[in-house]
Structure 1
């Protein structure tokens, strides 16, 4: 079998992890990443094409004998890149635009969950900010009453269009930001107000071709910016896998009561789902409930999952694209846990400065069982004399990922690697995976 070329679309930590893992396949010759970052420039070949330029991406794939296209982020999936690629005769891993609406519209997702009787929080949807504000004022007539709601923008908002509210003024402010001031642009054309669920959050990712479902090991993301899950929501400050808070019995409930029904519901809606189905769950006292669905690998959950994956990911992606996932054997994973610690720019998730030189990445990468995945990085300087520096170009900059025999060992290795990396204003949470250690202590007591 002749080696194939693969094109990964995207520029974040997820895309670096995908390119790195795809490049390990003996079936692959070249891995291209469009547009990529400073890390994919080392582990693959960067292509200076925007992920929104569908014709240019198609032309590149055709002229470079690309046998498989892997679309990483949600925005090009929702925008129909998979549909356009397939129409051009290319093999693509990822859901169609119609299927990607599961993430592209929270209103569509919630309505689908309700119609399929899949457990989720009670909710109301609103097109007008005034109506949503009136609902809050009527429901919480006394401004001092405690409020337990979550206000969400309907569309894509880079993980930030969700506001957890504990007071009436916070809820009204969130509605104003999303629905009136349109802080998240078109994502706020509709908004959802739902009950706030309580319990630990966990991510369950599955790969499906619309018929067969392969559930991946559990993972747990850390959305709030600061230690102890405080501060504003971010795109994710770290993750680890597996997540011991989700036992095998509960995982079986998630598969039978959430994953299987949503795949069937999408098929009935004539939006068959192919790709990565990501369930963000809350483990409530009444059982697991869906917070959201994403239609791609989570970032940063992708990084520890792919560190642990031992199967050839290209075989899996091709089987999904061809609709023959049921022919594959189950996937194999390293039994050791993996932890990803996100290093961010000063000021993130608010405004931040770019262009600061990063040092120490090579030293961290040389450590045993460590891989530094780049997210918001780029190369600066003159390429002709080889003196290009790696600089920060985004809010979430690096995903320092490590494995160990135990969660504690993996955490220690990850933070040792973090300590080797420097740039002006760099910071990270210090408690990634502590939730897993707390579960282990509870289990022993």
Structure 2
């Protein structure tokens, strides 16, 4: 590709040279050459513009050399144009990297400072001293090419001692054109409340374990809220994220059980022993809730997604209402775990009985739609009924977290509430 490109470039320059032959006899061409010969600044800027349009300094240099070889421009004008070519080529890289990262833009800016400013300094010196360029070669085209080489050698030699200064200047220039990044948000690092140093003080250790179980409650609540959203709108990313939350619950569940096992190695009062058992039981139930959500309900979500199934409007409203009741009861269970309030615990167990009745009503409504032959009800029947069953099981697990509080106050007989 490179060789083909060079070949096409040389061919195009030869064609330009042939096409420009008539310009030798043009009456207008000498006027233009005389104007640019007398106006070094315009010539300098024009060459920079041409180079930037070409996006190649080599192409521009060869063009100038070709025109000089045809006698269309003088060596003096050619040298000024070469200085403009170097200015234009030093602008190309900064323009191409203007959207790049700051560290990427430093080198192109440094090149612009050295070659761009270098060409400007050389232009000023040329305008002051007007030197002859016969020492650069015997032909006009050779003088132009050698002038380009000499200029870059001078820039190289001058750049060696100035490299550090140019680099620092480039950094400052890039910094001026870079928008300040907003202060990075502090990464939220989830610290464990299971402080090993508190194990010798059971009351503090149990408080630490309670804090950690509450965090598990929060994760389970998030899972419970998101699962119903996935029934309506699911994708692989959301499903994977929910499964990751269950992994977090499992990890915390294992850590809490191990921590409480260490607590029991110390002498505990009766209340402390009961609280320890209560926390272990709550943690186990929360882990089971997470498993039901991921191993059962996510399976229903995937099935619904893969088959493109839709609930009937009535069926979806029933599921959402049933889910909302379970979510409300979950929050009651989490409050009971912290407050150990007997009235809240009693309300939670009563809600369990109410939910059982609601399940019967929901199932009856679903079977009515099946009997009527509603297509969507037939297609989603197993998903609908399994989801109701899973939510009821979750509710039962969470409601059982209130039993230790009720038993402690003698409000629970067997598996039923005592009459108040």
TM-score normalised by structure 1 residue count: 0.20
Structure number having the greater strand percentage:
1
Structure number having the greater helix percentage:
2
